Chain A
C-alpha cells in the first residue's frame, strides 16, 4: 500500500453540489494531514490542515479525519467552476523525514 493514496479522477460534479475528495493512508504516516489545491499551471496552495480525529470546517471546505478507517476527506460545499483544480493530500512520514504527497484528484465542476 502506498503511504498516501488518492483516486486520480476526474471527479465531475455540477455547480452547487458537494464535492467529496478522499485520501487513504498507511501506518507509515503520521496523523497530520494537509490539503492542497493546484490549478493547472500553478503551484500547490495550502487550503486545509487537520490534526485530530473528526471534522474541521473553514468556509465552504470541511476536512474529515477518520483514524479508525485510515482516510481523510475534503468536502467542498456549493462547488463552483472556480474550484476546478487538482487536490493533493499530504501527510508526514512517521519517521519524520519528509512530507508524503498523494498524486492528486482532479475535480471538475461544470455549470
Chain B
C-alpha cells in the first residue's frame, strides 16, 4: 500500500494563478481531509469529505475548492492564488471520522 500520496511536492505560483493539488489514497477510506500548516503553527482544516460526492467546509475554506468524484481521489483547487496561501498542504484519510488519520507527505506551496 502506498497510503496517501500527494502531488506536486513543491510549487511556486504567481499571485492570481490557479492550481490543483492532487491527493490519492489506496486504503479504501471514506473520509478524506485537507489541512494547511503555516510555519511553526498547528494544522488547520480546509475541507473534508465523508465519501464520494460529499464534501464540507472546515475552519479555513476561503480561497479553496474541492471535489470528490471517487473514493480514492480528493483534489484541492486554489483559485486566484494569494500570498496568504503560502503554506504546506497536507491531505489525510481515515476509515472513520473519530479514528486516526493518515497523512500524505505534503505539498509546499509558495505564492509570490
Residues of A near any B CB (own CB < 8 A)? 30, 32, 34, 42-46, 49, 88, 90, 92, 96-99, 101-104
Residues of B near any A CB (own CB < 8 A)? 41-43, 45, 48, 58, 90, 94, 97-106
Main secondary structure of the interface of A (DSSP, over half): loop
Known: A34-B100, A46-B100, A103-B42. A98 touches B48 (CB 8 A): yes
Contacting pair A98 B97 (CB below 8 A):
yes
Closest 4 CB pairs of A and B: A92-B98, A103-B42, A43-B103, A34-B100
28 residue pairs of the A-B complex, CB under 8 angstroms, read: A32-B99, A34-B101, A42-B105, A42-B106, A43-B90, A43-B103, A43-B104, A43-B105, A43-B106, A44-B43, A45-B103, A46-B100, A46-B101, A88-B42, A90-B100, A90-B101, A92-B98, A92-B99, A96-B98, A97-B97, A98-B58, A98-B97, A99-B94, A99-B97, A99-B98, A99-B101, A103-B42, A104-B42
